[in-house]
Amino acid sequence: MSLIQIRKKSVTVETIYHEGGPVADVPLRLASAAAVVRNPFAGRYEPDLMPFMAELRSLGKELAQSLVDLLGKENVEVYSKAAIVGINGEMEHGAVWHEAGGWAMREVLGQPKAMVPAVKAVASAGYRVMVPVHYIHASYVRSHFNSIEVGIQDAPRPDEILFALVMGTGGRVHSRLGGLLKENVVGADGQR
């Protein structure tokens, strides 16, 4: 029997034309794909979370592919992941998403080198998290430090987990604070 039982999925897209300045030539698109799943370990301590983490790879790949299909693989410049664990679970139940979600995005995007940022929380239904994003090829591209809000109003219920992946098409629309530019990235180590 599968450890993954999905109650619902959600895809959200923000299109940002401007932030009070001139309208961008190409609007920034930030998207999240989320799945609300039953927490198989809610209310109890489970010493071995590895089978759950391994099985979540398929969900990660499905969510990552849905974002690539929506935005276009060639357009994706930022990424991240998030988990919100219902209050009958523990933080480690969300941490399984680090490998499963991150691995899936790297595979679907052609193995970008930058670390995949993440956020996780244990919370009640309706909780929302600000998910940090950065450039997929180098973590220190300042123009691409941004965030998107992720959450679903009726999730996670106490015995559920909301797992989400985030991708976007660029940096902030009015970035003008210097630092490493994406055009100057070497990309050898995922940092610069």
Can you give the pTM of this predicted structure? 0.96
CA 137, chain centre distance (Å): 16
Q: Could you tell me the fold of the domain covering 6-184?
A: 60s Ribosomal Protein L30; Chain: A; (3.30.1330)
- Could you state, in order of their start, the residue ranges of all structural domains in the chain? 6-184
Which pLDDT score, from 0 to 100, does residue 188 have? 79
Which pLDDT score, from 0 to 100, does residue 1 have? 75
Other CB atoms within a 10 A radius of the CB of residue 191 amount to 16
pLDDT tens, the chain, 192 aa long: 789 999 999 999 999 999 999 999 999 999 999 999 999 999 999 999 999 999 999 999 999 999 999 999 999 999 999 999 999 999 999 999 999 999 999 999 999 999 999 999 999 999 999 999 999 999 999 999 999 999 999 999 999 999 999 999 999 999 999 999 999 998 778 888
* DSSP symbols for 4-24: --EEEEEEEEEEE--SSSSPP
Task: Supply the DSSP symbol for 83.
Answer: E
Collapsing DSSP to helix, strand or coil, 120 comes out as strand
Measured distance CA(79)–CA(144) in Å, rounded = 10
